Amino acid sequence: MSNQPQFNPADCRIEEITSAEELQQMVKSVAAQIDAYYAEIGAPEILLVCILKGAEIFHADLLRELKTPAKIDFMQVSSYVGTASSGELTIYKDLILDITGQHVLLVEDIIDSGLTLSLLLDRLSKRGPASLKLCAAFDKKEARKQPLEVDFAGMVVPDKFLVGYGLDYEEYFRGLPYLGELFLPDAQ
């Protein structure tokens, strides 16, 4: 056991930024853009890839709004910037399905520096998908360190520490139905 004092989520304050109702509207609007895009390029189906853990909620909501036939798969990765400035990608859980010739849509919770997703897009593009696109519920545009365009973004959010709707702090708060800014106890 560590000597660190136990973090107590009940001591935190969370200020709502986006309500559950607004998030549901956001999902509908993103799903409509996605349906329109794949109809336009004539893709009969897509592979909707959930980037664990944060995208779990958004991925499930999106899946139920899309009209385009969708298969699903899951991936868990993290990026780390060490001595190599380009960063390194660690894959904790890889896809089960073969993406060769598939229209792949990655679903992420939030794009912050952009490092994780640019490394992941680079890696997956080598597996020969018919197309590879990125969708994110939240885009922290001003925090970008790596040039990265989000093909389908739910909403642009401020560069603050956000929780809820899948986003966590120390694994807590993912289940909040709204998006909020987190204030830790010593910062109150």
Catalog residues that contact Mg ion under the rule CB under 5 A. Answer: 54
Determine the Cα–Cα distance for residues 112 and 142; give it in Å rounded to an integer: 8
Choice from 31, 66, 75, 110 touching ligand IMP (CB under 6 A):
110
In 3D, which of 171, 169, 133, 167 has the Cα closest to residue 152? 133
Say how many CA atoms lie within 13 Å of 56 toward its Cβ.
12
In the bound complex, what is the minimum distance in angstroms from residue 108's beta carbon to ligand IMP? 6
Choice from 20, 21, 71, 161 touching ligand IMP (CB under 6 A):
161
Please identify, among the stretches 3-11, 25-33, 107-115, 120-128, the one whose residues bind ligand IMP according to the rule CB under 6 A.
107-115
Residue 112 annotated among the catalytic residues of the structure: yes
The partner in contact with residue 18, picked from ligand IMP, Mg ion, none with C-beta cut-offs of 5 to 8 angstroms by kind, is: none
Determine the Cα–Cα distance for residues 61 and 67; give it in Å rounded to an integer: 12
Determine the Cα–Cα distance for residues 83 and 110; give it in Å rounded to an integer: 25
Where do the H-state alpha helices sit in the chain? 20-40, 56-65, 115-125
114 is an interface residue for ligand IMP by CB under 6 A: yes
56 is an interface residue for ligand IMP by CB under 6 A: no
Under the rule (CB under 6 A), what is the footprint of ligand IMP? Answer: 54, 79, 108-116, 161-163, 167-168
